[in-house]
Amino acid sequence: MAEEKSQASSSKMLTLKASDGVLFEVELNIAKEMKTVQAYIDDCEDIETIPIPNVLGKHLAIVIEYIKKTNEEYDAEFEKQWNMDDLQLLLLAANYLNISGLQECLCKAIAKRIENKSPEYVRKVFNIENDHSPEEEAKLRKEYKWAFEGVDKD
């Protein structure tokens, strides 16, 4: 304990525990990018292991990697690797951990994937069911008939 206190704070390591028990050792300055973790540290100074109950180990690993490497080039390539489910879970993680750069990057990535696509495509991509009744849907389609111009081929 005393040893750790005498070290410079930038090289102090912190442990984050994901919801499935996986542990990650990260440097303090990386962990501080997650505002939620920062708040935790501010509250209890001597904490060593911080529980992150809402995020799976797999996603926490990706988030930490992002914080370490983020720059324009990395961001542009980053979002191409993940499917829509992962993107959404990462967004939820970034939201919980309060990392604004990552939230922005992920919102843009998801938006880009649904731009100019038909409703059927968007449903498939998000894996959601159409809960409009057939009458409602027919009415909406009629009202917004012009909405279908300019849609990409799926």
* Contact footprint for other proteins (CB under 8 A): 84-85, 88-89, 91-92, 95, 103, 107-108, 110-112, 114-119, 122-123, 126-132, 137, 140-141, 143-144, 146-151
Smallest gap, in angstroms, from Cβ of residue 49 to other proteins?
Answer: 26
Minimum CB distance to other proteins smaller for 65 or for 115: 115
User: What is the C-alpha to C-alpha distance for residues 46 and 146, in angstroms, rounded to an integer?
Assistant: 60
Count CB atoms within 10 A of the CB of residue 3: 6
Do residues 116 and 132 make contact, with C-beta atoms less than 8 angstroms apart?
no
Q: How far is the CB of 45 from other proteins (least distance, A)?
A: 31
Q: How far is the CB of 27 from other proteins (least distance, A)?
A: 28
Tell me whether residue 15 or residue 95 sits nearer to other proteins (CB atom): 95
Beta strands in the chain (DSSP E): 13-17, 23-27, 49-51
Token code pair at residue 153: 């081929």
